[in-house]
Chains A and B, each alone.
Chain A
Amino acid sequence: MVFKMKIIGFGKGIPARCVSNDDIAQFLDTSDEWIFTRTGIKTRYVCTTETLTDLSVTAANGALEDAKLNPDDIDLIICATLGGDYGTPSLSCCIAEGIGAKCPCFDVNAACTGFIYALELASGFISSGKAKNVLIVSAEMMSAKTDWSDRNTCVLFGDGAAGCVVTAGNAVKYINLSSAAMPNSTVLNMPNGTGNSPFTKEQKSSGFLHMQGQEVFKFVVNIVESELKLVQERTGLSPAQIDLFLLHQANKRIIDFTGAKLKQPPEKFPCNIQRYGNLSSASIPLLLFETVKSGQIKPGDTLLLCAFGAGLTAGTCVIVWE
């Protein structure tokens, strides 16, 4: 399988308000030490007046500028998100409106794995000649989805958007999507409500994000190991030949434990969870953006992106950076 794709520009949109662990300890029975030792998180950014569209448009404009493209150059917008500012229109349509693009748009919801799903979709459009330049934006407002009276979940997440433009090229070597790698809707979910239909027999209101952390931890470690075996079978690349592992930023402890299981040194696992918390689908593109811009990723480096999330879904991508 040839993916014929490369990333040519990045952008990000982060809320202005930075919330520290101490800020949260003002209204919850928790502490900086408790949160940091269990998650590796020190701060996260949370929307106050910004909408998710605001963050997404900022990320999209940044990616266009970085790629030296105009909105007219974009043939498709794919947005990875758990949900935008509206049930409909999609967040991708709001982005198109915000940047002044007139192209097909759609959202994809694969939870924290969304960015890898979006890459796979973009490669299909590019390979088939249906699109030349695809704008991908991953954007999440997790602060609206977590229960701020539950210290086990609300401390983990943050808000933010990260985007990139992809076009024809040879950098992307491999993508694998493990849709419902372990079908299980109970360990990680966020229930929708039933509305006010007079016909429903069981009225349900929408609920907050719910997670069985220990089960998710096990799933992640196992799925990363099995995804890496697949990479080795299909591309011949062993973990030792991968220069950097960009894992979904769910929890620093999970990343550390996974690295140890893979017998790879910690410096091969760049992290930004300390500053941003878990940004769901936006974690990996933001980490890739920052790692490229900081110079930590150099041309010729072999990168492994691996995301995992509710579903449970997982996705892996190998890129040789150009």
Chain B
Amino acid sequence: MLEKVTDILREHKGDSELQITLKTEFADLELDSLEMVELVMNVEEEFDVSIEMNEGIKTVGDLINTVEAAR
């Protein structure tokens, strides 16, 4: 799942070299609040889940845990 989320983030940032780990924080990627929604919606589509917007989602690991809980 990390690989797919990495692909989505790379496409979003237009940076094919972007390095992503479970600990990567969205704030460090300089995603604003609307980009977070765009990311969550792209992830929802990719994994066919529905996720509530949640301020607790701060890292890539948080996002992946949320997706797994929603599956």
**Chain A residues with a Cβ under 8 A of chain B:** 37-38, 212-215, 217-218, 221, 251, 253-254, 257, 261
Task: For B51, give the chain A residue with the smallest CB separation.
Answer: A218
Is B32's CB within 8 Å of the partner chain A? yes
CA distance A230 to B40 in the complex (A): 24
| Nearest-neighbor residue (CB-CB) of B38 within chain A | A257
Could you tell me which residues of chain B, from 27 to 71, have a CB within 8 Å of some CB in chain A?
A: 32-34, 36-38, 40-41, 53
Taking a contact as CB atoms under 8 Å apart, the answer to whether B38 and A214 are in contact is no
B34 surroundings in chain A (CB, below 8 A): 38, 213-214, 217, 251, 253-254
Inter-chain CA distance A257–B44, complex, in Å, is 14
Inter-chain contact total with CB atoms closer than 8 Å:
26
Report the interface size for chain B: residues with CB under 8 A from the other chain: 9
What is the interface of chain B, defined by CB distance below 8 A to chain A? 32-34, 36-38, 40-41, 53
Contact A215 B53 (CB under 8 A): yes
Q: Is the beta-carbon distance between B37 and A214 smaller than 8 angstroms?
A: yes
14 inter-chain pairs at a CB distance below 8 angstroms, sorted by A residue, are A37-B32, A38-B33, A212-B53, A213-B34, A214-B33, A214-B34, A214-B53, A217-B34, A218-B37, A218-B40, A218-B53, A251-B34, A254-B34, A257-B41
Q: How far is the CA of A84 from the CA of B33 in the complex (A)?
A: 33
Contacting pair A218 B41 (CB below 8 A): yes
B residues within 8 A CB of A251? 34
Complex Cα gap A217–B33 (Å): 10
- A253, B32: Cα distance in complex, Å: 12
Task: List 18 additional contacts besides A214-B53, A218-B40, A218-B41; criterion CB under 8 Å.
Answer: A37-B32, A38-B32, A38-B33, A38-B34, A212-B53, A213-B34, A214-B33, A214-B36, A214-B37, A215-B53, A217-B34, A218-B37, A218-B53, A221-B41, A253-B34, A257-B38, A257-B41, A261-B41
The 9 A-B pairs with the shortest beta carbon distances in the complex, nearest first, are A214-B53, A217-B37, A214-B37, A253-B34, A257-B38, A215-B53, A218-B37, A214-B33, A221-B41
Which residues on the B side are within 8 Å of A221 (C-beta)?
A: 41
